[in-house]
Amino acid sequence: MGRKSAASVHQLKTLPPTSEAFVENVKRAHFQACIWRSALTGEAPDNDPLENGWVSDDDFGVLMPVTLPPQTEIAPAAVIKLIQCGCSSETPCSTERCGCVAGQMSCSAFCRCRAEIRTCRNHWTLLKQRIEDANDSDEDESNDWDDSDE
5 pLDDT higher than 50:
no
CA nearest neighbour of 110 among 134, 135, 75: 75
**What global pTM score does this model have?**
0.46
State residue 80's pLDDT score.
63
Question: How many Cβ atoms are within 10 Å of 88's Cβ, its own excluded?
Answer: 8
pLDDT in tens, 66-118: 888 877 877 776 666 556 788 888 888 989 888 888 878 888 877 888 888 88
State residue 84's pLDDT score.
73
Question: How many Cβ atoms are within 10 Å of 79's Cβ, its own excluded?
Answer: 13
